[in-house]
Structure 1
Amino acid sequence: MTPEAITADPAVDAPMRVRHVVKGQVIEGDGPEYGRDPNRFTTPPLDVSALVWPRPAPSPAADVPVDEIIDLLVEAGEVLKRDRSGALAEAMERSVAAGFYPRDLVERSFAYLGHMFNRASMEFMIEQEIGGKDLLDGWREVATPSGRPAKVRAFPCRLLHVIAGNSPGVAANTVIRGALTKGVHLLKLPSNELFSAPAIIAALSEAAPGHPVAKSFSAAYWRGGDEAVESMLFRPQYFDKIVAWGGESTIKGALKYVGPGLELVAFDPKTSISMIGREVFASDEALEAAAEAGAHDATLMNQQACTSSRYQFIEGSIADIDRYCARLQAKLGEGRRSSSAEPRPIPRNIRDEVEGLRDMEEFYRVWGGYEGRGLVVRSEEAVDFYPEGKVVNVVAVERLEDAIRHVNVATQTVGVYPAERKATLRNALASAGAQRIVTLGAVSPEVGLPHDGFYPLHRFVRWVNDEG
Structure 2
Amino acid sequence: MSGAILSGTENPAGNAADPAPVAHVVQGEVDHGAAVVHGRPGERFRTPALDLDRLVWPRSQAGPAFEVPTSEIVDLLVETGLHLKDDTYGLLAEALEHMTAVSPLPGEVLERAYALLWRSFQRPGILAQIDNELGGADVLDGWREVVLPDGRVAGIRAFPPRLVHILAGNAPGVAAQSIVRGAITKGVNLLKLPSNDLFTATAVLRTMAAVAPGHPIVRSFSAAYWRGGDTAVESVLFRAQFFDKLVAWGGEGTIRGALKYIGPGFELVSFDPKTSISVIGEQAFASVEALREAAEAAATDATFFNQAACVASRFQFVEGPVENADRFAAALCERMGVAREFSSAGGPKVGAELREEIEVLRGLEDDYRVWGGYDGHGLVIRSPEPVEFHPDGKVVNVIPVPSLAAAIRYAGVATQTVGVYPAERKVEIRDALASAGVQRVVTLGMAGGMPPGLSHDGFYPLQRLMRWVNDE
Q: Is the 1:70–1:122 Cα contact (8 Å) retained in structure 2?
A: yes
The answer for the alignment partner of 2:458 in structure 1 is: 453
Superposed CA deviations along residues 297-351 of structure 1, whole A, max 9, x for unmatched, are 0011110000000000011222222111111001111110111123321111111
Q: Which residue of 2 aligns with 1:205?
A: 209
Q: Which amino acid aligns with 2:142?
A: G
Aligned equivalent of 1:232: 236
Q: Tell me the residue number matched to 1:44.
A: 48
What letter matches 1:453 in structure 2? G
382-391 or 333-342: which moved more? Answer: 333-342
Amino acid corresponding to residue 457 of structure 1 in structure 2:
L
List gaps (5 residues or longer) in structure 2: 1-13
Q: Which amino acid aligns with 1:396?
A: P
**2:387 aligned with 1:383:** yes
Q: 2:336 aligns with which of 332, 335, 347?
A: 332
Q: Deviations over 1:33-52 (max 9, x none)?
A: 11113321011011011000
Deviation at 1:218, TM superposition (A): 0.2
Of residues 390, 394, 411 in structure 1, which corresponds to 2:398?
394
Q: Would the aligned equivalents of 1:38 and 1:98 in 2 still touch at CA under 8 Å?
A: no
AA aligned to 2:462 is L
Count of equivalent residues: 458
The question of whether the paired residues in 2 share the 8 Å contact of 1:79 and 1:206 is answered with: no
Secondary structure of the corresponding residue to residue 361 of structure 2: helix
Per the TM alignment, residue 12 of structure 1 is displaced from its structure 2 partner at its CA by 7.3
Q: Shift of the alpha carbon at 1:11?
A: 9.3
Within 5 A, what are the aligned runs for 1:266-415? 266-415=270-419
Secondary structure of 2:101 counterpart: helix
Deviation at 1:118, TM superposition (A): 0.4
Q: TM-score scaled to structure 2, two decimals?
A: 0.96
Q: Do the aligned residues in 1 keep the contact of 2:103 with 2:197 (CA within 8 Å)? A: no
Distance 2:285 2:225 in 1: 51
Judge conservation of contact 2:318–2:324 (CA < 8 Å) in 1.
no
Secondary structure of the residue aligned to 2:353 is helix
Q: Which residue of 1 aligns with 2:171?
A: 167
Letter in 2 for 1:466: D
Contact 2:146 2:153 in 1 (8 A): yes
What's the CA shift for 1:117?
A: 0.7
Cα distance in structure 2, aligned partners of 1:186 and 1:95? 21
Single out whichever of 31-40 and 217-226 deviates more from structure 2.
31-40
- Does the aligned pair in 1 maintain the 2:347–2:394 contact within 8 Å? no
Q: In structure 2, what residue type is equivalent to 1:288?
A: R
Contact 1:407 1:434 in 2 (8 A): yes
The equivalences for 1:22-41 within 5 A come to 22-41=26-45
Query: Structure 1 unaligned runs (5+)?
Result: 1-9
Q: Could you say what secondary structure the match of 1:326 adopts?
A: helix
Spell out the pairing of 1:113-262 with structure 2 (5 A cutoff): 113-262=117-266
Of 55-64 and 350-359, more deviation after overlay is shown by: 55-64
Is the Cα–Cα contact under 8 Å of residues 321 and 401 in structure 2 kept in the other structure?
no
Partner Cα distance (1:37, 1:174) in 2: 31
Of 424, 429, 436, 2:428 maps to: 424
Alpha-carbon distance in 2 for matches of 1:135, 1:91? 36
Q: Which residue of 2 is the match for residue 94 of structure 1?
A: 98
User: What stretches of structure 1 move > 3 A for 4+ residues in a row?
Assistant: none
Which is further off, 289-298 or 31-40?
31-40
